[in-house]
């Protein structure tokens, strides 16, 4: 039997990863057929239980902020977000970010979340926020690299009793920009028949 | 498409099975069958659509439940529909067994599991799903024939009740609101107030049984009338002892809580005695595990030794954690992992130690002393129950320790002339507000670190505002007094002293706000530079105000107690800076040293930089110091001034003007001034260590940095909770 050294094995893994990374395909949320994929991923990987209403709330109002990552036809990661007025600031919010365990460490999450943040920035958001478990070192490092600060600690925030950090990314004030940027709210979405969606409550549990 | 039926608002939607004819239609209403309407409406709906009210928002979406999803549906039936059904099914028999030995074993298991539940509750889970998962507690009357179990359940209820009331009174549980929610659970059984006398009677009986079984056979006859606890005489001593320590622990613990509630800290001394007894009994409880474990026929439980919730390792009878799931609204059922029995005992040991610190406090009448005590106490990271008791002691009826009026305390702290205490100034609206702010500050300092920091960030602005208001108020009030008045001198003094004191507190709050960020791990290494810089500028202001205050107090002391010649002699000493200010100076040097070291590393070695694709360091600065910047704390400080003072930092320069050396030197000199103050001696030693390590690291990086590119610098908090120690390593 052939034996491989650690170095060779490592080199092989790197090679495979590089190949895999290039094979990842990113898609913006495209409709009902994507919903079960997102729900499956989140259900598997996140501790919080979400009802179907929560998923639809996000993907119907802000389909442009949700992305999916596919590897050879299999959905391996997703990001779900929203944006809206919050205490006089127009703010983006990253609600869920999931990448399947075997696919982590290849920049898929960074790519997913970067795509969402870009759309938020172009839509006139002043800042982006989210919560992450204090024990989730991977996520904290990822958001740190993107420029998020840990604005506060939320004591026993999650149902499982773990503290959270509220992370915030402040965009530079666009001094030369016109403030009348197109603000994509969810008004034109198809979810709400004959009713306007008013964004009043912040995303709080 | 079941998911299309939204459940809004009231989640407890009841569908009454009423005969329509039983409710008569009103004048303008008639009964009609809506089925056809609903059917046609269903055909109109496309996949993914929802009929909902205008107020259906994210909160409503998040609150919606999916029926029969075990992650969300807390109403899902697990084993029993109700407590009564559980009892009917024999889930909580009384007695636990007709075999007296087994009955005693099982009772001890219940006691142990209840202790684990109680600790889990204190740690932030709901009462309903922890302590009250015990079916015996739910029906107080059922246990009356079982004196041992009955008395134990009573003292548990009374204890829970006492803890709930302290926490609700002090409201230290801001984010831990689950704690006090009792959901109509029977927290008070009839006669629970007599719990101690009952407990005492049971304890007496078991003590006699223990004496009887230990008595040598010659004396046996004398005590023969005592019926043994159970039937296996070889185990009699072990069971008696195991029960006694458990009962006595409950008794003393209840006493601790009662004593600590006495007004003006009058019960603290007695509470300490009970705390000591509690700790002794806990030791005995721990020791009893050996005996109880060895008599466990079915050996290891599924959870393994570490996870078990009883000393014996058996599963207790009479608990069902799913029974109260429905009481846990408005959240989905929380997955509760009851602490292990060992962890529970450890929790109570910690709690008792924390309470002991409170009880041994000298009720310092000086405000600074109070602040320092609370800050030192918080270093032990006390849990909710201990923090609630601290606040209960500090503030009763709006007075410090329920004893000293807050205004009098301010007068003393701000070194105001004696006349101020009775001066009309305390009726001034702004002064009344200041008193309220002081009370709020003390309250905030008793909350958990995360909440505390957020509240400090807000209250620091209120302190800034009150400063401006007071300034105006004094000008108005004292301006009216004619300049020839004798009062004038006093008034000017009062206003100057109060204003200086308010500023001092404001900077103290700001520094605590900044430093708590380290404890909460809010800063990343690339932000340390700006954080230390901010700490540096705030501490300078704080030292300035403290120094000014102390100069005034020296002046007063001098005038009071000394003759002219003596005061001349002391002139030299008067110029010395007070030790408290020098201690601040040490911290200032450390903060400055760290700022410059980090800035130089960044400027020359391109490390600890914050580079992100979306923003710059400027945005990080705005976000971290938003609260302070908004309140102009300190004045004229901005990102620009931070950049100006750090942009030119070079290792070669800062190594010559080495702040760490200064910090170390002053810290050494200060030792003699604080030799009687344990906390400050600890602080001094920590400062010395940080200063020494960083001084060495700085030299090393400066000498080798450019020669050896593999040299890596990182920071850790191995010597001081807020001031980082630099570690240099070859990668």
Residue of A nearest to B513 (CA): A152
Interchain contact B43–A (C-beta under 8 A): no
Give the side-chain half-sphere CA count within 13 A for B375: 20
Interchain contact B175–A (C-beta under 8 A): yes
Give the model's confidence band at A55: pLDDT under 50 very low, under 70 low, under 90 confident, else very high.
very high
Residue A15 scores a pLDDT above 50: yes
**Lowest model confidence (mean pLDDT) among A190-194, B325-329, B469-473, B554-558:** A190-194
Interchain contact B13–A (C-beta under 8 A): no
**Model confidence pLDDT, tens digit, residues B175-217:** 666 777 777 788 887 777 788 999 999 999 999 999 998 887 6
**Lowest model confidence (mean pLDDT) among A112-121, B219-228, B713-722:** B219-228
d(CA A108, nearest CA chain B) in Å: 16
Alpha-carbon separation of residue A68 from A16, A37, A122, A147, B524 (angstroms): 21, 9, 20, 23, 30
The neighbouring-strand residues paired with A127 are A91, A170
pLDDT for the residue B57: 80
Report DSSP letters for B225-247, one per residue.
Answer: TSPPSSS-TTTHHHHHHHHHHHH
pLDDT for the residue B333: 59
B57–A159: do the CB atoms touch at under 8 Å? Answer: no
Residue B485 scores a pLDDT above 60: no
Interchain contact B381–A (C-beta under 8 A): no
Residue A34 scores a pLDDT above 80: yes
Give the model's confidence band at A194: pLDDT under 50 very low, under 70 low, under 90 confident, else very high.
very low
Q: Which of B612, B619, B622 shows the shortest C-beta gap to A145?
A: B612
B450–A171: do the CB atoms touch at under 8 Å? Answer: no
Distance CA B379, CA B512 (A): 12
Q: What is the mean pLDDT of residues B519-532?
A: 96
Interchain contact B129–A (C-beta under 8 A): no
Q: Which of B54, B450, B620 shows the shortest C-beta gap to A198?
A: B54
Q: Which of A60, A170, A191 shows the shortest C-beta gap to B615?
A: A170
Residue B301 scores a pLDDT above 60: no
pLDDT for the residue B10: 38
Contacts of A117 in chain B (CB under 8 A): 614
**Model confidence pLDDT, tens digit, residues A61-79:** 999 999 999 999 999 999 9
Q: Which one of B458, B614, B622 makes the best mutation probe of the A interface by having the most chain A beta carbons within 10 Å?
A: B614
Position with higher pLDDT, A67 vs B700: A67
Interchain contact B574–A (C-beta under 8 A): no
Contacts of B619 in chain A (CB under 8 A): 147, 169-172
Residue B224 scores a pLDDT above 70: no
d(CA B339, nearest CA chain A) in Å: 13
Distance CA B95, CA B97 (A): 5
Contacts of A144 in chain B (CB under 8 A): 524
Given phi > 0 = left and psi -120 to 50 = alpha, else beta, which region is B182?
A: alpha
Q: Which one of B45, B62, B534, B624 makes the best mutation probe of the A interface by having the most chain A beta carbons within 10 Å?
A: B62
Residue B512 scores a pLDDT above 90: yes
Q: How many other C-beta atoms can be found within 10 angstroms of the C-beta atom of residue B278?
A: 25
Interchain contact B624–A (C-beta under 8 A): yes
B453–A152: do the CB atoms touch at under 8 Å? Answer: yes
- Residue B551's contacts (CB-CB under 8 Å, 6 or more residues apart) are none
Q: Which of B58, B334, B616 shows the shortest C-beta gap to A172?
A: B616
Interchain contact B60–A (C-beta under 8 A): yes
Interchain contact B521–A (C-beta under 8 A): yes
pLDDT for the residue A21: 60
pLDDT for the residue B546: 96
pLDDT for the residue A199: 33
pLDDT for the residue B27: 79
d(CA A61, nearest CA chain B) in Å: 11
Q: Which of B61, B125, B614 shows the shortest C-beta gap to A53?
A: B61
Give the model's confidence band at B423: pLDDT under 50 very low, under 70 low, under 90 confident, else very high.
confident
Contacts of B628 in chain A (CB under 8 A): none
Q: Which of B47, B61, B619 shows the shortest C-beta gap to A32?
A: B47
Residue A1 scores a pLDDT above 60: no
Kindly state the tokens that stand for A182. Answer: 């197109």
A51–B65: do the CB atoms touch at under 8 Å? Answer: yes
Distance CA B383, CA B156 (A): 19
A60–B3: do the CB atoms touch at under 8 Å? Answer: no
d(CA A40, nearest CA chain B) in Å: 14
Give the model's confidence band at A13: pLDDT under 50 very low, under 70 low, under 90 confident, else very high.
low
Interchain contact B468–A (C-beta under 8 A): no
Q: Give B612's DSSP letter.
A: -
A171–B619: do the CB atoms touch at under 8 Å? Answer: yes
d(CA A143, nearest CA chain B) in Å: 10
A147–B622: do the CB atoms touch at under 8 Å? Answer: no
Q: pTM score, two decimals?
A: 0.86
d(CA A20, nearest CA chain B) in Å: 24
Alpha-carbon separation of residue A125 from A64, B103, B624 (angstroms): 14, 66, 19
**Model confidence pLDDT, tens digit, residues B35-84:** 998 888 888 877 777 777 777 788 888 777 777 777 777 667 677 878 88
The neighbouring-strand residues paired with B609 are none
Residue of A nearest to B337 (CA): A160
- Residue B323's contacts (CB-CB under 8 Å, 6 or more residues apart) are B79, B80, B82, B83, B86, B133, B135, B138
Give the model's confidence band at B21: pLDDT under 50 very low, under 70 low, under 90 confident, else very high.
low
Interchain contact B67–A (C-beta under 8 A): no
Contacts of B60 in chain A (CB under 8 A): 53
d(CA A1, nearest CA chain B) in Å: 36
**At B659, phi and psi to the nearest 5?**
-65, -35
Distance CA B1, CA B45 (A): 10
Q: What is the mean pLDDT of residues B124-149?
A: 91
Contacts of A114 in chain B (CB under 8 A): 613
A191–B48: do the CB atoms touch at under 8 Å? Answer: yes
High-pLDDT (> 70) share of chain B, %: 87
pLDDT for the residue A8: 62
Contacts of A135 in chain B (CB under 8 A): none
**Model confidence pLDDT, tens digit, residues B247-273:** 999 999 999 999 999 999 999 999 999
**Model confidence pLDDT, tens digit, residues B554-593:** 776 666 655 555 555 555 555 689 999 999 999 999 999 9
Burial class of A194 by CB neighbour count within 10 A (0 to 12, 13 to 18, 19+): exposed
Position with higher pLDDT, A18 vs B139: B139
The number of C-beta contacts closer than 8 angstroms across A and B is 141
Q: What is the mean pLDDT of residues A16-44?
A: 85
A169–B62: do the CB atoms touch at under 8 Å? Answer: no
Distance CA A113, CA A115 (A): 5
High-pLDDT (> 90) share of chain B, %: 61
Give the model's confidence band at B16: pLDDT under 50 very low, under 70 low, under 90 confident, else very high.
very low
Contacts of A143 in chain B (CB under 8 A): none
What ipTM does the predicted assembly reach? 0.83
pLDDT for the residue B558: 65
A200–B57: do the CB atoms touch at under 8 Å? Answer: yes
Contacts of A172 in chain B (CB under 8 A): 615-616, 618-619
pLDDT for the residue B561: 59
Distance CA B103, CA B109 (A): 10
**Lowest model confidence (mean pLDDT) among A32-36, A197-201, B363-367, B411-415:** A197-201
B614–A50: do the CB atoms touch at under 8 Å? Answer: no
């Amino acid at each position: 039997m052939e034996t491989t050294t650690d170095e060779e094995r490592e080199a092989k893994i790197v090679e495979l990863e590089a190949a895999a990374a290039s094979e990842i395909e990113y898609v913006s949320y495209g409709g009902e057929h994507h919903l079960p994929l997102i729900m499956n991923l989140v259900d598997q990987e996140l501790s919080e239980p979400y009802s179907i209403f929560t998923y639809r709330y996000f993907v119907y109002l802000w389909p442009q902020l949700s992305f999916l990552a596919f590897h050879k036809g299999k959905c391996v990661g997703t990001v779900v977000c929203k944006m809206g007025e919050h205490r006089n600031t127009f703010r983006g919010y990253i609600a869920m970010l999931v990448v399947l365990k075997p696919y982590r460490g290849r920049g898929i999450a960074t790519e997913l979340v970067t795509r969402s943040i870009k759309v938020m920035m172009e839509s006139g958001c002043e800042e982006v926020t989210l919560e992450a478990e204090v024990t989730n070192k991977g996520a904290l490092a990822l958001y740190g690299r993107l420029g998020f600060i840990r604005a506060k600690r939320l004591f026993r925030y999650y149902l499982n009793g773990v503290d959270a950090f509220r992370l915030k990314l402040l965009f530079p004030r666009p001094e030369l920009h016109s403030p009348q940027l197109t603000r994509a709210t969810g008004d034109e979405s198809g979810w709400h028949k004959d009713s306007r969606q008013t964004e009043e409550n912040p995303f709080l549990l | 498409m079941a998911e299309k039926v939204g459940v809004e608002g009231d989640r407890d939607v009841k569908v009454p099975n009423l005969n329509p004819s039983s409710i008569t239609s009103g004048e303008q209403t008639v009964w009609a069958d809506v089925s056809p309407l609903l059917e046609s409406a269903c055909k109109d709906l496309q996949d993914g659509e929802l009929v909902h009210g205008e107020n259906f928002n994210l909160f409503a979406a998040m609150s919606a439940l999916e029926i029969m999803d075990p992650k969300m549906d807390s109403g899902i039936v697990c084993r029993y529909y109700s407590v009564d059904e559980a009892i009917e099914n024999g889930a909580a028999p009384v007695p636990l067994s007709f075999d007296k030995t087994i009955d005693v074993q099982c009772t001890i298991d219940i006691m142990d599991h209840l202790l684990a539940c109680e600790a889990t509750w204190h740690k932030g889970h709901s009462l309903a799903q922890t302590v009250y998962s015990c079916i015996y507690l739910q029906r107080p009357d059922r246990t009356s024939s079982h004196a041992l179990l009955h008395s134990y359940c009573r003292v548990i209820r009374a204890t829970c009740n006492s803890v709930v009331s302290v926490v609700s009174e002090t409201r230290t549980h801001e984010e831990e609101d689950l704690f006090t929610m009792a959901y109509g659970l029977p927290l008070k059984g009839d006669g629970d107030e007599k719990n101690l006398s009952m407990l005492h009677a049971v304890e007496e009986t078991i003590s006699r049984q223990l004496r009887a079984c230990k008595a040598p056979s010659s004396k046996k006859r004398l005590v023969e009338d005592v019926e043994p606890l159970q039937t296996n005489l070889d185990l009699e001593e072990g069971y008696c002892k195991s029960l006694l320590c458990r009962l006595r622990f409950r008794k003393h613990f209840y006493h601790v809580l009662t004593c600590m509630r006495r007004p003006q800290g009058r019960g603290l001394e007695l509470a300490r005695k009970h705390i000591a007894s509690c700790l002794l009994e806990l030791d005995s409880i721990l020791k009893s595990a050996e005996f109880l474990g060895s008599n466990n026929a079915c050996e290891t439980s599924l959870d393994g030794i570490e996870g078990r919730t009883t000393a014996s390792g058996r599963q207790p009878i009479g608990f069902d954690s799913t029974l109260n799931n429905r009481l846990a609204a408005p959240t989905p059922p929380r997955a509760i992992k009851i602490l292990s029995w060992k962890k529970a005992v450890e929790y109570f040991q910690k709690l008792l130690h924390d309470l002991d610190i409170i009880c041994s406090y000298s009720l310092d009448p000086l405000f600074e002393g109070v602040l320092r005590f609370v800050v030192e106490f918080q270093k032990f990271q006390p849990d909710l129950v201990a923090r609630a008791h601290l606040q209960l002691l500090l503030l009763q009826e709006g007075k410090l320790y329920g004893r000293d009026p807050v205004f009098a305390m301010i007068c003393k702290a701000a070194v105001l002339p004696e006349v101020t205490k009775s001066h009309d100034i305390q009726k001034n609206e702004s002064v009344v507000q200041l008193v309220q702010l002081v009370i709020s500050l003390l309250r905030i300092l008793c909350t958990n670190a995360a909440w505390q920091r957020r509240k400090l960030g807000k209250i620091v602005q209120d302190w800034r505002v009150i400063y401006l208001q007071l300034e105006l108020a004094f000008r108005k009030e004292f301006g009216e007094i004619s300049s020839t008045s004798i009062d004038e001198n006093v008034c000017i003094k009062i206003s100057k002293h109060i204003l200086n004191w308010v500023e001092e507190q404001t900077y103290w709050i700001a520094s605590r706000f900044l430093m708590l960020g380290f404890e909460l791990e809010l800063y990343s290494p690339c932000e340390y530079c700006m954080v230390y810089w901010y700490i540096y500028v705030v501490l300078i202001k704080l030292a300035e105000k403290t120094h000014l205050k102390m100069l005034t107090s020296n002046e007063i002391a001098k005038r009071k107690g000394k003759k002219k010649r003596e005061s001349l002699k002391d002139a030299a000493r008067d110029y010395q800076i007070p030790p408290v200010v020098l201690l601040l100076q040490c911290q200032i040097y450390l903060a400055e040293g760290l700022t410059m070291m980090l800035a130089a590393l960044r400027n020359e070695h391109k490390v600890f930089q914050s580079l992100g694709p979306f923003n710059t360091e400027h945005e990080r600065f705005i976000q971290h110091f938003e609260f302070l910047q908004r309140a102009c704390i300190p004045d004229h400080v901005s990102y620009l001034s931070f950049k100006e003072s750090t942009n030119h930092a070079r290792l070669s320069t800062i190594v010559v003007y080495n702040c760490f050396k200064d910090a170390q030197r002053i810290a050494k000199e200060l030792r003699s001034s604080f030799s009687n103050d344990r906390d400050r001696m600890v602080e001094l030693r920590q400062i010395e260590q940080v200063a020494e390590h960083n001084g060495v690291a700085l030299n090393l990086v400066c000498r080798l940095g450019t020669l050896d590119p593999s040299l890596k610098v990182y920071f850790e908090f191995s010597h001081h909770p807020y001031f980082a120690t630099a570690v240099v390593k070859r990668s």
